[in-house]
Chains A and B, each alone.
Chain A
Amino acid sequence: MRRNLPSFIAVLFSIFGALSLVVVPRLAAEQALLFFIVIYGAIPRRGSIFEASLPIRGREIVAARVLWILALVWLPIVAWLIATVGSELRALPVAMVLDAGAVLTLAVLLPCAIRPEQVDEPPVWLTALLWIALAAPSVAVARFLPPVVSMATFAVAIVVTARWIWIRVPGSLEVAPRKTLKEKPSNLARSLSTIEPAASGRAWKPLLLALFQGGKNASGNQSYSILIWYALFLILGLTNENSFVALIYLMLPLSMARQGTRWLTAFPISNRARLWCVLVPGVFIALGCVGLGGLVSSTFFRNRMSMSANAPEGSHYRDDLTRVPLEFWHRATGEPVIRAPWGETAMADTLSVLRVELQNPYTTNVGNSPRFVEWQLHRATTAVYGLPMTIAVYRSRKAASTLPPKAISSQRMQILNVMTLIGIALLLAFLVELSQRYWFEGNRLSNYIVQSFFALFLLSPIAVDWIYAKYPMSSVTRSIVEAALLRVSAFLPASLLALTIISALPAIAIYAMLQWQFDRADSVEPRRSESRVGRFLARPAPFFRTS
């Protein structure tokens, strides 16, 4: 009921997660995990003080909330199970999905088991600790025990926890007593001695702490929930090569950072400093976590992938050798025929993406000669890896996992990627500022319009990926972006420094625009009525009658 934008997005994502599991299982396998995590990025709450004051039994309040969250978790799973009954679309083993559901159920229940007589949920750090403690044993159980035993273990754990909570929750939930510190005499002496100006590090402590305090926990108090998002972004970086996915979720840390730094407007701090107080926790640290995850994954889990790993499947291939990822395909002009210098031809694989015909210029057909295949592989490896390889070399290196990094992972491309990421993130921040502005002296865009716009903006890449999801692991939108960046990289000067500076220019321009708008924006939010849709979606259904 608070901060409807995250709740709204959470529900939206759970629905999309369900659909994607059904429709495009291979693509969604890893994204679904994130969807599930997002669902309880809004940490399960037990109840509000308002509810605790109503004549409703404590158990019913807690049960209502918990069941609502569990519904969000199990609905997609059940939908997926039903939709894929007996079909080959079932890319994930049932047992694994059920195990995941069980683990999530435990993750929701366990925080409720701490001090169950209180209305407030436990502090964020305790919940995070609990989840970490839950992660390792559950992975072990799921991995190493046979499916039936692991399901039984989880079931027992769930039942025990639920019963413990059920017994302990009293008829009426208590409000935690406010913690007060007794004054200690030693403190008096210490405060008297702080006559000299404090070290500036200490002075900035409230500011630093407050930068990360933007999230509100369920009781409406400020909390460090943004840290959970950093952890999620780290996981995203670890598991997903496509860091652009993070942009979809960036809205949440960004809006938390905006909320958390509102109090600074009363202080003599320049507009520029205030904007950076929003951007650093909301954008740069978040993206930094993604980058860190990517760095760790590429260092430790070095997975030199073959060319065909992310490539669309085709029909003409003689064997798997020359399938390349989408970003290396060319625009189709006229007949999709490839002609070798000595006259041999092959029909290229084509794919139509957003009304643009693309073809794989390195296709080999079944009937082509080995010389042709060698020639195509030579061209393909030059394009993808930057150095030509023969079939034998390619195969042996692939077997030994010593393939070189792809062209899209070169330093130039990395720089371009980072700059593009930052540019789009700043654009997002700019759009958020714009959406909060008062137009024509009196009207702000209604909440519905703003939320729909952002949902559209952020989910359309996912939608595009669904439509064209003919291959695993990679995504069409990312390929489009990488292809564009490859072309841009060809135009730019060779020196890395010049490349950095030039590619940073758009981001800097967007930042200037953002700063300009930020200077002209109101810094306080008047009381706005909550969006009805968000309120509806966030409210648990009245399952229980009041006694």
Chain B
Amino acid sequence: MQSPPSAAPPVIELDDLRVRFGRFEALAGVRGTFDGRAIGLLGPNGAGKTTLIHTLLGFHKPSSGTARVFGRDIRRQDKAARALIGYMPERDSFIPGMSAVRFVRMMGELAGLPPSHALERAHEALYYVGLGEARYRPLETYSLGMKQRAKLAQALVHGPRLLFLDEPTNGLDPAGRERMIRLVKDIRDSGDVHIVLSSHLLRDVEQCCEEVVILKDGQIARACNLAAERQANRKFLELELGAPAASDDPRGARPASALFDETSRSGVAAIDAFVDDVRALGASIARGTKRQRLRVVLPPSVAIRALYERAASGGVLIRHLDYKRDSLQDIFLQAMAGESGPTSAPPQPPAAAAAVSASAYEEAS
């Protein structure tokens, strides 16, 4: 998430940005520098996603702090900043009595395009979003999916450098959602525009974005580069331990919870001993709320066989072993649980990142 040293200003810079509505503080000191091609804005309802976008657009005045879009201060150079932005609002927004092409043309002209250029771009934008055949129809006759695409067209018509998409797949059927995601990816891949995608749908963000900013209670709970996270988050092993088949137990292996119950001293001692043995191999271990579940990151030099050997010698049974990798959902849950990763920090080395993931397991599981 950290911007590389370059002359060009970062896409978005936030410095202790606070926005207050009466007594309610919607943004509580947001800091960060975002430079990614596609930035996902995640968070539960009321986290401050939309407020952040609206503040960057100048709809809300910050009570303190600053924000810059491509180096333009949103307080003093708000118009210059907005000239670089395209905005697709979350709610149904259009001007009735207008055909799509007239609506998009008007939006282009308001953004500063000469009328003839705006008309040309309006046709192109509507073709681009797949409304070419319906562009002369009045907007109020459009379906929800078509209105969403018309909103995208008006956001694109003036060729912005930064595109704010607020819940672009809201209310769309699977086919419409797929089409919208494809468009967003295509815009992202054009390399001409940066995208900020606000959504509560992790899948949308995971598909479209390379950076993720997770907001919680008006603050950035976590900011990370998804690609780096995927690379850094080395696969970890998820283990479920159970009791070995005891000779005095005619039923054979009992359920894991029977042996490793909190009340069972022998069970606790066995698993603790196993954990200590595995740690001695140089592995990172996170223990879940259920003691028999572990997440283990083995050093490259250690084979899985070593785990079985330690388990056998410690008198525990590995009932389940699987490779896992932190998903965006894990990252989101960690952030919501209060496990904050580094904000705008450089990508971590693999082992450290894995340890962070593993340490968060306890709370997430």
Is this pair of chains taken from one and the same complex? Answer: no
Q: Which B residues contact A (CB, under 8 angstroms)?
A: none
Q: Which residues of A contact B (CB under 8 A)?
A: none
